[in-house]
Every structure is written in structure tokens, then in C-alpha cells.
């Protein structure tokens, strides 16, 4: 395990030091949750347009529940595992290229940004894959958000990888719950109980 952690730190330093001041503004914008608001609005409109008010509204409700779930659970994981963020790691003191004005809390495993971004991308893909090919662009957005955390110096690559995987797993569970509710609410008709 120690070998994996050291490899993760070396990969972090390599990726983190690829940055330069010309790109800092872009990565700060990409990571800022307020910059995602227009995307969320477009996704809500896309759900309502492609699925209708009732089914799209239900999908929107499940997307919001998913977002809250991944956000809260990644916070609990951070508290439980207590792996320091790169900017708090004494072994990396003075070598982290910290672009972010605030490092966040002391613990970073797993990344809530990656969990939320990949969770939303996965959920939207499963919900809209038959009606909109544009939904696949969500993977690019999720990747940019996830990488921004390493670029800015606030997460290790394993924080990102595990956060993204957790987000995808959560998205699949919430999609299955959404599909189950659709099957039993008159949208598609409940399966017979014979």
C-alpha cells in the first residue's frame, strides 16, 4: 500500500508541475462549482425537453438526490480515512504548485468534485443515451473537472480515480432506482405480480 501511495504522490507532482500561469485561470474556472450552474440549467432543460415534464422532472429529482448523496458520502469518507490533501502533506511541503486560493479541508480522499462530476455524467448518459448524443460530452466535462483538482494542487490522482469510480457506481444505483420508479408509476406500467 505504501508503494502505491508513493507512486500516487510522484504522479501528482508530475501532473501538478505541468501547469503554468497562462492556464491557471481556466482551471480555476473549471473547478469552481458556480461555473457549473449554466451546465446544470442546460441539463435540466434537456431532460424536460427530451423526456417531458413528468419523466424529465423525475429524472431531475433523481439527479439532485444523486448529487447530494455523492457530495455527503465523499465527505464522510474523507473524515473516516483522513488521507491528507497534497497541500497539507508534510512530505510535499514546499513542492506542491498550489494554484487554488484555498486548499479545502485537510482530507482529500475521495474527491467530491470527481464524484459529483462523474456521477452526474454517468446518470445523464444512462437516462438520455437513446435520445441525445450530446450527453456524451458530459464525459469531457467530468474529466476536465477531475483533472482541475490535481492541476490546482488540492487532490492526488487516486483521490480523483476513486471519487470518479464512486460517482459512477452511485450513478448506476440511482439510475436503477429511477428506472424502477418509472416502471411502477404509470410511465411504463408496473410489472405484473402474478
Q: What is the mean pLDDT of residues 24-33?
A: 93
Predicted TM-score (pTM) of this structure: 0.90
Structural domains present in the chain: 2-183 (1.20.144)
**Pick from 192, 175, 193: which is nearest to 58 by CA?**
175
**Tens of pLDDT, residues 35-88:** 999 989 999 999 999 999 999 999 999 999 999 999 999 999 999 999 999 999
Dihedral of alpha carbons 71, 115, 105, 149, sign? negative
Residue 52 Cα distances to 48, 60, 93, 182, angstroms: 5, 11, 53, 13
Is residue 62 within 8 A of residue 174, CB to CB? The reply is yes
pLDDT the model gives residue 128: 92
**Tens of pLDDT, residues 106-152:** 999 999 999 999 999 999 999 998 888 888 889 999 999 999 999 99
3-state class (DSSP) for residue 140: helix
* pLDDT band at residue 186 under the 50/70/90 scheme: low
Is residue 150 within 8 A of residue 98, CB to CB? The reply is no
Q: What is the mean pLDDT of residues 91-104?
A: 88
Amino acid at each position: 500500500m505504501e508503494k502505491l501511495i508513493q507512486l500516487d504522490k510522484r504522479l501528482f507532482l508530475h501532473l501538478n508541475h505541468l501547469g503554468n500561469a497562462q492556464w491557471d485561470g481556466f482551471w480555476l474556472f473549471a473547478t469552481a462549482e458556480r461555473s457549473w450552474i449554466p451546465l446544470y440549467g442546460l441539463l435540466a432543460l434537456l431532460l424536460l425537453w427530451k423526456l417531458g415534464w413528468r419523466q424529465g422532472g423525475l429524472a431531475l429529482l433523481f439527479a439532485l438526490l444523486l448529487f447530494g448523496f455523492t457530495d455527503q458520502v465523499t465527505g464522510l469518507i474523507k473524515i473516516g480515512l483522513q488521507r491528507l490533501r497534497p497541500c497539507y502533506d508534510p512530505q510535499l511541503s514546499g513542492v506542491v504548485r498550489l494554484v487554488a486560493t484555498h486548499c479545502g479541508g485537510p482530507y482529500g480522499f475521495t474527491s467530491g468534485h470527481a464524484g459529483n462530476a462523474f456521477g452526474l455524467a454517468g446518470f445523464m448518459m444512462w437516462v438520455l443515451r437513446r435520445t441525445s448524443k450530446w450527453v456524451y460530452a458530459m464525459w469531457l466535462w467530468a474529466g476536465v473537472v477531475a483533472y482541475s483538482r490535481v492541476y490546482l494542487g488540492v487532490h492526488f490522482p487516486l483521490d480523483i480515480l476513486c471519487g470518479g469510480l464512486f460517482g459512477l457506481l452511485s450513478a448506476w444505483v440511482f439510475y436503477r432506482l429511477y428506472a424502477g420508479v418509472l416502471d411502477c408509476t404509470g410511465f411504463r406500467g408496473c410489472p405484473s405480480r402474478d
